[in-house]
Chains A and B, each alone.
Chain A
Amino acid sequence: MGNDEPIRVVLAKIGLDGHDRGIKVVARILRDGGMEVIYLGLRQTADMIVAAVEQEDADAVGVSLHNGGHLTLAPRLVQALRDAGMETPVVVGGIIPDDDVQPLHDNGVAVVLGPGASADEVVASVRQAVLTSRT
């Protein structure tokens, strides 16, 4: 896999959560970072995201949660991807309490980005997660 090809990222709001301002900003940041962002929109299930990742051959998945459901939904997404035979790294953003970051990592989430993350951090961490998953 050549490293000069644009990184393809699927972004989605998972579960019942309409706060999509943040993820749209992230979409724009990743686009400006030279990535191809496939945005799935609101109310996505883990299975819907897996189907999109398969069809789009995405290098990474980003989900945003502002409703407190991250400890349930993010691990479910990671598991659904692994069950489908994909090692695609999962990036979680949104309102994630500090105490929940480690449990998310323990459940296979590659990166957790909070509201304070800078644009450079967002791009660099997604890129790093993709490069790590490729090796």
Chain B
Amino acid sequence: MRSTDELKCLFDEAIAGHRRSLGRLLTVVERGGQAAAAVNDMAHAVGGNGHVIGITGAPGSGKSTVTGQMLRLLVAAGAKPAVLAVDPSSPLTGGAILGDRLRMDDGPDSFIRSMATRGQSGGLAVAVPAAVRLFDACGYNPIIIETVGVGQVEVDITGAADTCLVVVAPGWGDAVQANKAGLLEVADVFVVNKSDTPGAKDVRRDLEFMLDLGHVSGHEVRRGSRPNIVNTIGISGVGIDEVLAEAAKHLERLASDGQLADRRKRRIAIEIRSHLQQQLAETVDALIEGPVGGAHIDQVANGSMRPSEAVQALYSGLDDGGCL
């Protein structure tokens, strides 16, 4: 592990615009543990007010292409955007192919970092907020988090962005798919990508239909307003300016009606909850694998203790140990 002085030094360099140091610190926060917590605290102390934009959608819908086009326009307009592109790790080997940069133009004014999901233990829910905070402290704005909309953690962290874009494309399903819960419920803006292909009109109609029902089911109550729909052709950049305009408008609305602070608090709640869950999980694992846990397991196995009694006794033990 790097020493605190070393981390502080890297952090100061990153703040001053040294990209290599920022790259290294992102590795530190991705690994978790005390070093990550220290870096996260440093970034928190510096603060920032960057617009955090989540972008999600089914594989192949064009998230990375749309993101790449957004980067191009943002840089041309003088902004300093950062992208955190999350792709899944293989549950079997732990390896991953991170191919999002492939579709994004890189330049000295933007920073793109690929991140693999690395297991299911909630590490992502801890690493992503820390990485976002780091980008924010270094003055990047907006900060775009791109995730495949698969898995609760991914949906949670993307949905907790200031503005969440959901990319859909023709061929992703019919109105029934649009009404299934999950991904679509977290949208603040819908992007209908590949709008030059057959079926784009149907996608838009199905979305409108679903949003009409939202009057009844409360989408607007949960997300604050009815999401607008933007048609894009990612590959040629058509409609991307409108996506950015909608995102900016959404941020303005959040800021003016006080919801921005609520969303940011919700992000912090998700982050702190994930940290606590990780720590508790480690404590529980140690207990179960230790002698006390083993003794209780033996008693349940030989019939001298009921499972519920073992749970209660071990839980009380956690409490007594000052863990809870």
Contact = CB atoms under 8 A, between A and B. Distances in A.
A41 B113 CA distance: 16
B51 interface: no
A6 B118 contact: yes
A56 B113 contact: yes
B64 to A, nearest CB: 11
B179 interface: no
Interface stretch (A30-38, A63-71, A93-101, A104-112): A30-38
B23 A54 contact: yes
Nearest to B96: A36
Contacts of B24: 57
Contact of A31 (B19, B20, B90, B112): B90
Nearest to B107: A51
Given A55-B112, A57-B27, A36 B95 contact: yes
Contacts of B22: 55
B308 interface: no
Contacts of A8: 27
A26 B95 CA distance: 13
Contacts of A55: 19, 22-23, 106, 111-113
A31 B111 CA distance: 24
B97 A39 contact: yes
A123 to B, nearest CB: 10
A2 B32 CA distance: 12
B19 A33 contact: no
Nearest to A6: B94
Interface in B7-25: 19-20, 22-24
Interface residues of A, number: 28
A103 to B, nearest CB: 29
A30 B95 CA distance: 7
Contacts, number: 76
Contact of A84 (B20, B27, B114): B20
* Range of interface residues on B (Cβ < 8 Å): 20 to 34
Contacts of A38: 98-99, 101, 114
Q: Binding site of A, secondary structure by majority: helix, strand, loop or mixed?
A: mixed
B270 interface: no
Given A55-B23, A57-B24, A32 B90 contact: yes
Given A31-B93, A36-B96, A54 B20 contact: yes
Interface in A42-69: 48, 51-52, 54-57
Contacts of A124: none
Contact of A85 (B20, B90, B97): B20
B95 A54 contact: no
A2 B101 contact: no
A36 B116 contact: yes
B95 A37 contact: yes
A77 interface: no
A111 B118 CA distance: 28
Contacts of B101: 38-40, 52, 56
B14 to A, nearest CB: 12
B95 A31 contact: yes
B137 interface: no
A51 B20 contact: no
Contacts of A35: 95
A20 B20 CA distance: 28
Interface string A9-44: 000000000000000000110111111111111000
Closest 9 CB pairs of A and B: A31-B95, A57-B23, A41-B102, A57-B27, A34-B94, A34-B95, A38-B98, A34-B93, A36-B96
7 contacts: A6-B89, A36-B89, A48-B106, A51-B106, A55-B23, A57-B23, A57-B27
